[in-house]
Amino acid sequence: MLSKHISALLILLAAVFLVLGIRLADDYGLGWDEPVARMGGIITHRYVVEGDQALVTYRDRYYGPAFEGILYALEKITGTTDPYTIFALRHTATFFLFFISVITMYFLTKGIFGTWWWGLAGAVLLVLHPRIFAESFYNSKDIGFLASWVIGIFFGYRYYTKPTVGRAVCFGVAAAFATDIRIMGVLLHSIGIAVGVRSFMRKKYEVLRSSFIVYVFISIVFTILWWPTLWGNPLVRFIEAARFMATFKAYKMDILYMGKFLSSLDAPWHYLPVWVGITTPLSIVALWFVGAWKALVNKRTFWQLFFVIIPVCVIVLVVVFRPALYDGWRQFYFIYPCMVITALFGLQWVFRLSRKIHVIVVILIIVNMSAILSFSIRNHPHQYVYFNEIIGGMKGAEGRFDLDYWGVSYRKGLEYIASIDSRPTIKAFFAFGIGAHADVLRVQHRRFVPVKRLEEADYVLSNFRWQKQKPPLSNIYDVWVDGVSIMGAYTNMK
């Protein structure tokens, strides 16, 4: 009877989360990378369907198009053509993939730790990260990969625990899909390799002859199938893609890091670990160290090592190959689920200590996560600029780290200006941004004409990226997050 009630409660929670996410999808503005990501889906679609060869020389052809292809297909299927509706559809679909990964995270952590409440803890901790939750609507590239990564690990876990042919197929497909979003998805194959090595060491050759061969075949076939750039010469082009991403230098821009402007091509080795450390919930950071330490000094399982090694391995690869780094650690969000599970291993060890200690730890976690939830609610829909207590929150990050680097908050500024200026045409200048910010507004607000020269504009909007001081104009509106302005709107009219 109790299990039925628990199942009903979990289904209700999942349904509420899904409905809430669909409702909130319309609250977020446009991210800088969204039009670029969408264009990758369009060019890939035209290559596959129409034979258009633009993909062959396309600058971003080495970005995996699997999810972007699905998003553009949704546009075609629904007949959506209005700019606002297109990106509203994309935001909803991106959240839906994230929702699936949250459900998958529940079953993964439940399987690893053995009880439903551990599974719920894993899912909740994934959702409560303010940056990841907010970006689960408008960041189809990084959250798309995070979601596919979690799904891939789940099917890898199932394959590892029972290497049947059916599970081999599911894991091969999931690993291929993740790889065809970001090439770092190849790290999922460490699970498949572990199955092969274990089967060989235990002389279970029937596994090698059946499910392992199927897994290898399926993963290769679907990786090629869903990534048209590989067609024609898969091995060579896959190596080219790996080399391109490992030494990524395509974009050179300034980054604000520890109060100094640096080149994205010359970020210090500690850029990534520092960004992870100051924007991840403090309780997860602390418990991750406990879980990692116990996994290294005690008797450990394959999964304990896997979830510890993946984040460390990724950071080491970044330090060694030194690709361009910018926009915080969004490109590496996929390591966060691994951090969560390692943190849960740390919490599991804490529970073996005295009852007094683990009660205190649980209270501290609840207080920390409650404060984070409060931050997200009161600053919605701008949770994506979250910084933790290590740096002193928003006040500590102001002027030291990039905040709204994608200009998602411009939507609020434009909507405010449209509410006070009834003219049919309003000229706007974005200190850092793109004209598409004005194109994807609701119809009643779509009266802006982006201009390239500040002196031509009626209004100036800035997210303060690359700026050492705010514009010397009359301020009319700000988007505030915990007392810090992340976007200002200014009038340029006399």
Number of neighbouring beta carbons within 10 Å of residue 122 = 26
pLDDT, average across residues 379-403:
96
Give pLDDT, residue 433. Answer: 76
**CA 447 to CA 451: how far, in whole Å?**
13
Q: What percent of the chain has pLDDT over 70?
A: 98
**CA 377 to CA 292: how far, in whole Å?**
31
**CA 286 to CA 448: how far, in whole Å?**
47
Of 403, 388, 376, 390, which Cα lies nearest the Cα of 466?
Answer: 403
**CA 275 to CA 272: how far, in whole Å?**
5
Which pair of structure tokens corresponds to residue 369? 């996560």
Cα-Cα end-to-end distance for the chain:
72
Number of neighbouring beta carbons within 10 Å of residue 410 = 29
**CA 182 to CA 129: how far, in whole Å?**
21
pLDDT of residue 9 exceeding 60, the answer is yes
pLDDT-based confidence at residue 250 (cuts at 50, 70, 90):
low
Of 318, 320, 350, which Cα lies nearest the Cα of 334?
Answer: 318
Give per-residue pLDDT as tens, 177-219: 999 999 999 999 999 999 999 999 888 888 888 999 999 999 9
pTM of this structure: 0.95
Give pLDDT, residue 427. Answer: 95
Average pLDDT, whole number, for the chain? 92
Point out which residues pair with 401 in neighbouring strands: 257
Cα–Cα distances in Å, from 273 out to 167, 302, 316, 329, 336? 35, 24, 10, 9, 12
Contact 169, 222 (CB under 8 A): no
SS (H, E, C) 281-319: CHHHHHHHHHHHHHHHHCCCCHHHHHHHHHHHHHHHHHH
**CA 243 to CA 442: how far, in whole Å?**
42
Identify residue 46 by its one-letter amino acid code.
R
Within 8 A by CB and 6+ apart from 368, the residues are 281, 282, 283
The torsion of the CA quartet 31, 33, 38, 43, rounded to 10 degrees, works out to: 160
Give pLDDT, residue 2. Answer: 56
Give pLDDT, residue 211. Answer: 93
Number of neighbouring beta carbons within 10 Å of residue 321 = 12
Report domain extents, the chain.
2-372, 410-491
Give per-residue pLDDT as tens, 316-372: 888 888 887 888 999 999 999 999 999 999 999 999 888 888 899 999 999 999 999
Give per-residue pLDDT as tens, 278-296: 999 999 999 999 999 988 8
pLDDT-based confidence at residue 83 (cuts at 50, 70, 90):
very high
pLDDT of residue 1 exceeding 60, the answer is no
pLDDT-based confidence at residue 249 (cuts at 50, 70, 90):
low
pLDDT-based confidence at residue 472 (cuts at 50, 70, 90):
confident
Give per-residue pLDDT as tens, 130-167: 999 999 999 999 999 999 999 999 999 999 999 999 99
Location of structure tokens 């290590």? 390
Contact 250, 256 (CB under 8 A): no
Q: What are phi and psi of 169, to 5 degrees?
A: -60, -50
Give per-residue pLDDT as tens, 438-463: 888 999 999 999 999 888 999 999 99
Buried b (16+ CB within 10 A) or exposed e, 438-470: bbbbeeebebbebbeeeeebbbbbbbbbeeeee
